């Protein structure tokens, strides 16, 4: 059984990454949690309470797979078992990725409404991937 524990993050394209970061930090009080690259794109992860907002640099056009929403999942640490459970439920898995060196991982799917979802798991106490 797959069970959602909560909303972890929302991820958006930012045609002007600096302006978007300024808005969320200076107007809404977010803090910068991390800067990194995903698929060759600069990404800024901002924290607003328990929520993370991922801003993907879209100056050259939208980032593939963005926007998407990340759900924190309660499931076993076995990625293959999760992919199989989704397939058994008739859900197509569009991709997976490890969180750093693992053992956390994400599985990407699309819901029946067309929303791209990242189903994410990390062991207790580990920082979210």
Two tokens, residue 123: 């062991």
Q: Assess if residue 94 is contained within a domain.
A: yes
**Averaged pLDDT score across all residues of the chain:** 91
CATH number, domain containing residue 21: 3.10.180.10
Per-residue pLDDT tens digits for 87-108:
999 999 999 988 877 788 999 9
φ/ψ (deg, to 5) at 35: -125, 130
Q: How far is CA 59 from CA 14, 19, 22, 26, 114, in A?
A: 7, 12, 16, 21, 24
Q: Assess if residue 126 is contained within a domain.
A: no
Q: Assess if residue 127 is contained within a domain.
A: no
Average pLDDT, integer, range 11-30: 96
Two tokens, residue 58: 């879209």
Cβ(46)–Cβ(53) below 8 Å: yes
Average pLDDT, integer, range 56-76: 91
Two tokens, residue 78: 């076995």
Q: How confident is the model at residue 114 (pLDDT cuts 50, 70, 90)?
A: confident
> What is the total count of domains within the chain?
1
Comparison of pLDDT for 104 and 44, the residue scoring more: 44
* pLDDT value for 16: 97
Q: Assess if residue 129 is contained within a domain.
A: no
Per the DSSP assignment, residues forming a β-bridge with 113 are: none
Range of the structural domain that residue 13 is part of: 3-121
Per the DSSP assignment, residues forming a β-bridge with 96 are: 107
Which sign, positive or negative, has the C-alpha torsion 21, 124, 93, 90? negative
């Amino acid at each position: 059984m797959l069970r959602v524990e909560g909303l972890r993050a929302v991820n958006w394209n930012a045609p002007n990454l600096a302006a978007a970061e300024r808005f969320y930090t200076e107007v809404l009080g977010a803090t910068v949690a991390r800067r990194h690259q995903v698929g060759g794109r600069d990404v800024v992860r901002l924290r607003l309470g328990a929520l993370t907002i991922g801003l993907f640099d879209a100056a050259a056009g939208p980032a593939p797979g963005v926007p998407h929403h990340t759900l924190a999942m309660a499931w076993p640490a076995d990625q293959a078992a999760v992919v199989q459970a989704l397939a058994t439920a008739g859900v197509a898995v569009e991709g997976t990725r490890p969180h750093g060196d693992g053992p956390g991982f994400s599985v990407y799917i699309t819901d029946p409404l067309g929303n791209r979802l990242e189903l994410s798991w990390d062991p207790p106490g580990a920082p979210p991937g």
